[in-house]
A and B are shown apart, each in its own frame.
Chain A
Amino acid sequence: MTIVGKSKRSSAFRRNRWTLTAILAVIWLYTALPLFYVLVAASKSNNDLFTTFGLWFSGDFRLFENIRQVFSYQGGIFARWLLNTVFYATVAGVGAALFSTMAGYALAKYDFRGKRLIFAIILGAVMIPQTALVVPLFLLMSKVGMVNTPWAVILPSLVYPPGVFLMRVYADDAIPNELIDAGRVDGAGEFHIFSALTLRLLMPGFATVLILSFVATWNNYFLPLVVLSSAEYFPVTVGLAQWYATATVGSGGGAALFTLVLAGALISIVPVIIAFIVMQRFWQGGLGAGGVKA
């Protein structure tokens, strides 16, 4: 097979490649610079933070000292916040991915009354910003007495409309109808077919939704800020923001918190990076290869 088009040596190809590389470089800088800044700033003393150049290390490298302080300040409550965040993000991420997968599969593969309306409502929900829902959610939660409990963060995070949309499209594509029919002729019930035959084919989509909803809950700030009031339930985002507020308002003692906030932010990024690296191996295409004739 020959590929007709621009050859590698043509000037048009080179121009294209240079443009693309330049655009990528800009995007890379845009993403990497803030991360680099956090790393640099978290390694400084509070004094150096304001007196030395922001994008390079000062002579005094205090990263590990700062991290130690983050975990000991206020009786080590930071560790508690970090565990809260891990717990909320894991439960909400796995739950949201599972619900999205089941809903997307049902919308893709079953015919039922009201299917188009339901899908339209889900599409509409994708366009509503989470922030707009926080106040009504708070009112609902307070009616059922769930305010200031972990449920107030987890339950709303289980609903992830973009995941349903993604999984519907993915299931449509990844699962041949005859595969489901083969399961039916083999005598399996619908849930058995889903759990034993088709869920495996949906795993790349499941992994994608899992990481997206995990990160969405991990980064969520406004919802936990509104529905939680005890520091023991705070996720890292709300906890660090509270320290930051103390630092800006604070006189004397409070000011030392800036480096703690930055070191805390650095620590809170690490698990997300690990999650991405771990999940990467599930993003493999072609899982369904060979099952049906091309």
Chain B
Amino acid sequence: MAVIELRKIRKSFGALDIIGGLDLHIEDGEFVVFVGPSGSGKSTLLRLVAGLEEATSGQILIDGEDVTELGPADRSLSMVFQSYALYPHKTVRANMAFGLEVARTPKAEIARRVQAAAASLRLEPYLDRKPKELSGGQRQRVAIGRAIVRDPVAFLFDEPLIESRCGTPRGNAHRDRQAAPAAESDDDLRHP
């Protein structure tokens, strides 16, 4: 759980200003959606918060702590990518466990959390499959599971839900949305 605050965040690629001085305050448990046409900087904004892009200027604070200079590893956020970005050679179980293994979580704890996430996402029968043996919807749930098990302070979704939720071709009914449900407080999702 966390409060995310952006102060005068600017991002430009060369001469091109993508984000020009954005102030934003996201409360703990708040659900925020960014909407805009392609190229308006929705993904860039999420990547800035995640620490995958460096801001040209401005500050990013998580729970009052300045994280502007910190890398993605030190921000305790989870991000679900547009393409899901599953690790193709790893099983569903290993995909979800990877972040916890990096953090040197004890093995028993990893198994417990992966099991819990798999149960809430109805992924239990697929834990030993590789991503290529899953349907689109199942892959999406693995990507979400990978975000859940790490128990992050906030979730960043780079429109991974667009395809299966609305069932319409991209760019149609739900054109270009990005959601940043900061400090998702849905407890039965996080601690099932």
Contact = CB atoms under 8 A, between A and B. Distances in A.
A197 interface: yes
B132 A188 contact: no
Contacts of B113: none
Interface in B71-100: 71-73, 77-79, 81-89, 98-99
A189 B101 CA distance: 12
Given A200-B89, A293-B163, A182 B81 contact: yes
Nearest to B143: A182
A292 B89 contact: no
Contact of A178 (B83, B89, B98, B103): B83
B130 interface: yes
A291 interface: yes
B10 interface: no
A5 B178 CA distance: 44
Contacts of A179: 85, 87-88
Residue of A184, A185, A197, A289 with most partner-chain B CB within 10 A: A185
B85 A181 contact: yes
Most chain B C-beta atoms within 10 Å of own C-beta, residue among A186, A288, A289: A186
Contact of A293 (B73, B84, B103): B84
Nearest to A289: B132
Interface string B40-76: 0000000100111000000000000000000111000
Interface string A273-292: 00000000000000111111
A189 B72 CA distance: 10
B134 A290 contact: yes
A181 B72 CA distance: 9
A192 interface: yes
B147 to A, nearest CB: 9
A292 B131 CA distance: 9
Contact of B130 (A178, A186, A187, A290): A290
A187 B101 CA distance: 10
Given A178-B83, A290-B86, A292-B85, A186 B98 contact: yes
Contacts of B52: 181, 184-185
Given A186-B102, A187-B102, A291 B81 contact: no
B103 A291 contact: no
A293 B83 contact: yes
Contact of A189 (B47, B73, B77, B79): B73
Contacts of A289: 88, 132
B89 A185 contact: no
Interface in A140-199: 176, 178-179, 181-189, 192, 196-197
B89 A176 contact: no
Contacts of A287: 88-89
21 contacts: A176-B85, A178-B82, A179-B85, A179-B88, A181-B50, A181-B52, A181-B79, A182-B81, A183-B98, A185-B52, A185-B73, A186-B98, A186-B146, A186-B150, A187-B103, A197-B87, A289-B132, A290-B131, A292-B84, A292-B85, A293-B136
Interface of A: 176, 178-179, 181-189, 192, 196-197, 200-201, 287-293
9 A-B pairs closest in CB distance: A290-B132, A291-B88, A186-B99, A292-B83, A290-B131, A178-B85, A182-B85, A187-B73, A184-B72
